């Protein structure tokens, strides 16, 4: 296994590069330092640096406006493409295919196996792409390493690139004389690393099957409280939570394992009571209805379908594609007591 999996790595921004990008508008972003912290049952400390790891594509929905804090708390890694919507703020991105960031988005390091497109008025640190790189009008990026041509939109800026590439300059585009690189914090920066990350996820799922004698058949847990018994693992075939209801979880280090899908209706919510922590290991897809809220460290055999929903805190590690609106802090914070 690549020894980078066992390292705790911290994002370090070269001061001169920070000044240059902040002058371009990066002051609106809050890229906090991320340090991985292990806890019982987690499948590798370094993986916790990532909000989402997907065996397919990742799609982060557009935001109504740029916020002062990232709406994706950790890094992103996908075996296929990554699409980041307008005004979205994220950390490092790795994609086995193309990376596309929306208008006004703020991202850190980009590794793309194919082309990379940075949106108009968007900001990025260094960009490494297997094909062409396009920077939209008034975009600002760091060093570019491209497998094909570089196109700069009107008013775009970037650091110097390797010699020999064709560069198309839009009106008013410029090259910054600052050459210091951003130091990426994520351990996934190659197809090999991506495979190792997915192996961890798949092993977590296969090593934790549903116990046939303990499983609860398809269960509607709308309005229920679980986790109050001494048992730290609960087994279900499938879970359903109806629209505008809650599933409240109590206790520390609860693990919920299913053999099938988990579905939340529109406006449904997972509530963690009195500092509860939960690990979800799902044998089927995670389906999040419009406006629903999810919490917890989550391993999914299949897709995460949540294009209009949020993860308040936790992680999404899926073998299939992931669509989501926002991802909160990588680790769930301890909440205050909530009334049942």
**Counting Cβ atoms within 10 Å, is residue 134 exposed (0-12), middle (13-18) or buried (19+)?**
buried
The set of residues, in sequence order, having a beta carbon less than 8 Å from that of 224 and lying 6+ positions away, is 247, 248
Q: Decide: 248 and 228 in contact? Cβ < 8 Å.
A: no
- 47 pLDDT above the threshold of 70: yes
Query: Percentage of the chain with pLDDT > 70?
Result: 79
Q: What is the pTM of this model?
A: 0.84
* pLDDT mean over 38-48: 51
DSSP assignments along 159-208, one per residue: ----TT--EEEPTT-EE-S--PPPB---S--SHHHHHHHHHHHHHHHHTS
Rounded distance between C-alpha atoms, residue 90 and residue 108, angstroms? 7
Inter-CA distances, 312 with 186, 203, 271, 296, Å: 22, 26, 10, 9
Q: Tell me the C-alpha distance between 255 and 318, whole Å.
A: 17
- Please say whether the beta carbons of 136 and 156 come within 8 A: yes
Confidence label for 69 from pLDDT (cuts 50, 70 and 90) = low
Q: Alpha-carbon distance 40 to 311, whole Å? A: 21
Is the pLDDT score of 180 beyond 50?
yes
pLDDT at 170: 87
Name 32's Cβ contacts closer than 8 Å, sequence gap at least 6.
69, 70
H helices within the chain, ranges in order?
Answer: 15-23, 191-206
Confidence grade of residue 229 (pLDDT, cut at 50, 70, 90)? confident
Q: Would the CA dihedral through 229, 232, 238, 240 be positive or negative?
A: positive
CA distances from 270 to 13, 223, 277 (A): 36, 10, 11
- What mean pLDDT is predicted for residues 97-104? 97
Per-residue pLDDT, averaged over 243-263, amounts to 95
H or E, element range at 157: strand 157-158
CA-CA-CA-CA torsion for 64, 67, 73, 78, nearest 10 degrees?
40
Nearest-angstrom CA–CA distance, 225 and 251: 11
């Amino acid at each position: 296994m690549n020894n980078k999996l066992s390292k705790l790595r911290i994002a370090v921004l070269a001061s001169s590069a920070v000044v240059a990008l902040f002058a371009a508008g990066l002051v609106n972003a809050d890229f906090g330092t991320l340090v991985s912290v292990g806890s019982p049952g987690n499948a590798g400390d370094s993986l916790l640096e990532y909000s989402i790891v997907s065996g397919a594509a990742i799609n982060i929905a557009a935001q109504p406006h740029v916020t002062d804090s990232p709406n994706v708390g950790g890094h992103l890694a996908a075996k296929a493409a990554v699409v980041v919507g307008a005004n979205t703020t994220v950390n490092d991105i790795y994609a086995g295919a193309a990376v596309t960031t929306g208008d006004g988005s703020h991202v850190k390091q980009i590794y793309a196996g194919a082309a990379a497109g940075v949106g108009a008025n968007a900001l990025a640190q260094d960009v490494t792409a297997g094909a062409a790189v396009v920077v939209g009008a008034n975009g600002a990026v760091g060093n570019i390493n491209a497998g094909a041509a570089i196109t700069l939109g009107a008013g775009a800026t970037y650091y110097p690139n390797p010699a020999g590439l064709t560069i198309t300059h839009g009106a008013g585009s410029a090259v910054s004389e600052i050459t210091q690189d951003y130091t990426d914090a994520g351990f996934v920066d190659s197809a090999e690393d991506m495979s190792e990350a997915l192996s961890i996820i798949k092993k977590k799922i296969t090593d934790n099957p549903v116990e046939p004698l303990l499983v609860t058949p398809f269960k509607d847990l709308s309005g229920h409280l679980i986790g109050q018994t001494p048992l730290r693992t609960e087994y279900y075939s499938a879970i359903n939570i109806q629209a505008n209801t809650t599933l409240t979880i109590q206790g520390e280090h609860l693990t919920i394992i299913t053999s099938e899908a988990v579905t939340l209706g529109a406006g449904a919510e997972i509530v963690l009571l009195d500092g509860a922590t939960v690990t979800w290991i799902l044998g089927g897809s995670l389906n999040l209805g419009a406006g629903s809220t999810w919490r917890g460290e989550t391993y999914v055999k299949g897709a995460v379908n949540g294009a209009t929903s949020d993860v308040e805190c936790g992680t999404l590690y899926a073998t299939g594609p992931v669509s989501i609106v926002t991802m909160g802090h990588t680790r769930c914070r301890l909440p205050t007591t909530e009334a049942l």
